[in-house]
Structure 1
Amino acid sequence: MTDATQPTTYNGFIWSESLPAGAHWSGVIRRGTVLRITDIQGKANVAMLINNLEVKNERYNMPDTLKAQKTAFLTTPNMCFSDMGRVMCSVIADTCGWHDTIGGLSNAKTLKAKYGEKDYQSAHNDYFKNGYDSLINELTKWGLNASDIVPNLNWFSKVRVEDDGSMTFIENNSTAGDFVDLRFEMDCIVSLSTAQHPMDTSPEYAPQPIELSVFKAEEVKADDACRLHRAENQRAYYNTKIFYGENPDD
């Protein structure tokens, strides 16, 4: 079995794209492909929403993902579950080790309170961007709306819950070159924002760029670590195979 913290060389490169700091993006990631997200300079935050391409109101479900795998954050060999009990993607490699699931999104009000205001009229493309509005911009391209904003993923960010229930943002969780590989088990609409985490302790507006790369995934083996991680993972994988009319035992 490969070391999930080391870069995997995939045979089938498909495409790559750099996403600037404070930007937003959406696209279709096909089942049977791997999306690698790379933190180019360190300290990145990548807010993500995932929707089923065929049934758009099926989407990533944070509560089911966490309770089924008995965790509060994601890394290998976790899966991201949908609200229909299927697996949307699997975390098959990760050099960062902790990705936030509970911190949520920044919005215009919180961003202004923390960093002041720089709007499009005065700063053009250098205006201050927040996670909520960025993701709304992408969702509307697919016929989705604010009702589709659900508890999101924040790749590369770490939020620790203390004994008293308070939450602490951990600085420098991700360094330059860190990456996470997501093997998609469903055809999905993926929406991303590189706006800063809402709990980021930086006194300055300083989002970071990332790189996206997509590869053809290797065949999922019977001893796949994500698939066997928990009984719930196996059931989600079974449900996903059934959804696509495939033999769930393959």
Structure 2
Amino acid sequence: MLKAFHRVESPRNPEAAVYDKVIPAGEGWMYELQPGQVLRIVDLEGNQAADTLFYDADHPEDHYSAVRTINAQSNIYLTTGSTLLAESGKELAAIVADTCGRHDTLGGSCSSQSNTVRYAHEKGHMHNCRDTFMLELAKHPEGHRYAKRDMSPNINFFMNVPVTLEGGLTFEDGVSGPGCYVELQSRCHSMVLISNCPQLNNPCNAYNPTPVQVLIWNE
């Protein structure tokens, strides 16, 4: 279940991208991808965490499934060659390049409740990824039917969450560096939702949240 890092560089030229946006630290982003489009997420300054969810855009209730994805690939980490599966088993996206090496899909997103339980009662008010996810879902056009029920366990791109011998999880310094990226090719008409993690209480982003960049190619 613990495969070695699999770093693969992309042949794509950033200047040829049809979309280019920087997501500031602590902010969210939601975007519709067409089949075959390639999304690159770039850790601009290193040691940042990009909490990410994928949906079948035509059937929003069919969202990313960590359980199905882990079971299909027999690996708890995501890297080049990993295919992200929905609850139905449908392929949502595949990682086609990755210069970081591995990504977490067990640690989940931070929330007011988890900040309180993990750190201290007075941390409950702090900005968190769950709130960012909810804000982005609420901003989306009503016709797409996204709601609180569409929240699910997410991917933490660039985040380092080792599994202990006892089966527990620990949050450690990231394995990513400035300019590291992961590229995913959409396998269907999909929706991607990112919370650029604002966490200040653990080393997932070196206690200093920083921007990430997203690029998209038509291929």
Q: TM-score range by the shorter chain?
A: 0.7 to 0.9
- 2:190 alignment counterpart: 188
- 1:173 alignment counterpart: 175
Counterpart secondary structure, 1:135: helix
Report the alpha carbon displacement of residue 82 of structure 1 after superposing the two structures with TM. Answer: 1.1
Report the TM-score when normalising by structure 1. Answer: 0.75
For residues 114 and 25 of structure 1, what CA distance do their matches in structure 2 show?
Answer: 28
Report the alpha carbon displacement of residue 204 of structure 1 after superposing the two structures with TM. Answer: 8.0
Report the alpha carbon displacement of residue 198 of structure 1 after superposing the two structures with TM. Answer: 8.9
Q: CA RMSD in A?
A: 2.5
Amino acid at match of 2:8: T
Please list every run of 5 or more consecutive structure 1 residues that lacks an aligned counterpart in the other structure. 120-127, 218-250
Report the alpha carbon displacement of residue 18 of structure 1 after superposing the two structures with TM. Answer: 0.4
Report the alpha carbon displacement of residue 7 of structure 1 after superposing the two structures with TM. Answer: 3.3
Match of 1:138 among 132, 136, 139: 136
Match of 2:26 among 22, 28, 32: 22
Match of 1:5 among 5, 8, 26: 8
Matched, 1:95 2:93: no
- 2:155 alignment counterpart: 153
Q: 1:179 to 1:166 in 2, by over 3 A?
A: same
Could you list the per-position Cα deviations for residues 154-176 of structure 1 after superposition, in whole angstroms to 9, with x for gaps in the alignment? 00002111111221223131110
Matched, 1:42 2:40: no
Conserved 8 A contact 1:103-1:197: no
Amino acid at match of 1:165: G
Q: How does 1:82-121 map to 2 (within 5 A)?
A: 82-111=86-115, 113=119
Report the TM-score when normalising by structure 2. Answer: 0.85
Q: Which structure is larger by alpha-carbon Rg, 1 or 2?
A: 1
Amino acid at match of 2:12: T
Runs (4+) off by over 6 Å: none
- 1:247 alignment counterpart: none
Report the alpha carbon displacement of residue 131 of structure 1 after superposing the two structures with TM. Answer: 0.6
Identity of aligned residues (%): 26
Amino acid at match of 2:33: I
Counterpart secondary structure, 1:161: coil
Report the alpha carbon displacement of residue 206 of structure 1 after superposing the two structures with TM. Answer: 2.4
Report the alpha carbon displacement of residue 110 of structure 1 after superposing the two structures with TM. Answer: 3.6
Please list every run of 5 or more consecutive structure 2 residues that lacks an aligned counterpart in the other structure. 1-5
Number of aligned residue pairs: 207
